[in-house]
Amino acid sequence: MKKTVAVLHGDGIGQEVTESAVKVLQSIGRRFDHTFQIEKGLIGGIAIDQTGNPLPKETVELCEKSDAVLLGAVGGPKWDQNPSELRPERGLLGIRKHFGLFANLRPVKAIKGMSEASPLKDHLSKDVDMMIVRELTGGLYFGEPKRKTHNGAVDTMSYSREEVERIVEQGFELARLRKGKVTSVDKANVLETSKLWREVVEEKKSHYPDVEVEHLLVDAAAMKLITQPGSFDVVVTENLFGDILSDEASVLTGSLGMLPSASIRSDGFGLYEPVHGSAPDIAGLNIANPSAAILSVAMMMKYSFGMETEAAAVEAAVYSVFEDGYCTTDVQKSGHKVLSTTAFTDKVVEELEREFVSDHILSAYV
């Protein structure tokens, strides 16, 4: 199979971890006899510096000709004083909006042997395995009017029924592939948009009799993520709540550097990126954790390319490196050897290549 992947390194450690992800992508190609054509583009702060635009026209055109997009990270203090339209984050919001990437998928899963890295007690963190499904193109971040004056400011939270229906359906479909439970998070006791949200969930659940449905107000959900994180399967919620709750959930495993994400639409086209930021304080030091970027490649295999076996191989390789006693500085623990970004990546590639060699040896005897 041949696929074109647009690679947008972005800012800070995005440059480093994206290179790790590309190495793993190339390794998958060798092992499974696929061809991944890499096309590079600019986004975020580096795009502002070079083109004056956080999302250049050339980048949009590149992504339009690609089968999926791999992104590093955007942002940094260098651009903090820029006007809002020239902030690196505008590039990220713009690409999501342009391509209609309405569903953000964030898996949060405990890794065997790494519970020490979690701020929670082991009996709480060891069973964490959830998927947060966040609506990505509507709500408070995109609603109009949106303005700031000397005397005040206004943001508008707005949702159409269609926008709510498609993300809720995404949550139900994913639950069917997992443990069969959906937790819908809203603020229906206060917000009109949340009342619509809960109404839609109640309507849709009749089409999924095999899925258990739970409604939680967002404040209760925030508490339960800390006190009973193992009780969640699929969490579906709107843009603002999803932004906050997914970041809260991400620390359950101990580091943002270990968690991937996907922003997809109905036809499978998607943008894949680690959930961490650009971390300019450690950029260029070769110590960033590349796991999230590498696992984002696994999500690309699964959700955009339908390559379930390849996705599982990448996940297994990353988990195996941790289980073999290796880690990066952000999750270092007693008894583990701390590796640089490139050394950790090489270990993951070695694990994939080892399986590749084993497969060929076995096939020789068939």
Q: Which residues are catalytic?
A: 141, 187, 219, 243, 247
The answer to whether the beta carbons of residues 66 and 5 sit under 8 Å apart is yes
- 3-class DSSP state of 3: strand
Distance CA 1, CA 269 (A): 16
Distance CA 176, CA 130 (A): 13
Q: What is the 3-state secondary structure (H, E, C) of 315-348?
A: HHHHHHHHHCCEECHHHCCCCCEECCHHHHHHHH
Spell out the residues 6+ positions from residue 114 whose beta carbon is closer than 8 angstroms to its own: 253, 254, 258, 322, 327, 331, 333
Residue for token digits 């999750």? 331
Residue for token digits 């702060």? 45
Q: What is the DSSP letter of 231?
A: G
The answer to whether the beta carbons of residues 162 and 225 sit under 8 Å apart is no
From residue 290, alpha-carbon distances to 263, 280, 294, 340, 344 in Å are 19, 15, 6, 9, 8
The answer to whether the beta carbons of residues 70 and 22 sit under 8 Å apart is yes
- Tell me whether strands 337-338 and 326-327 are parallel, antiparallel or unpaired: parallel
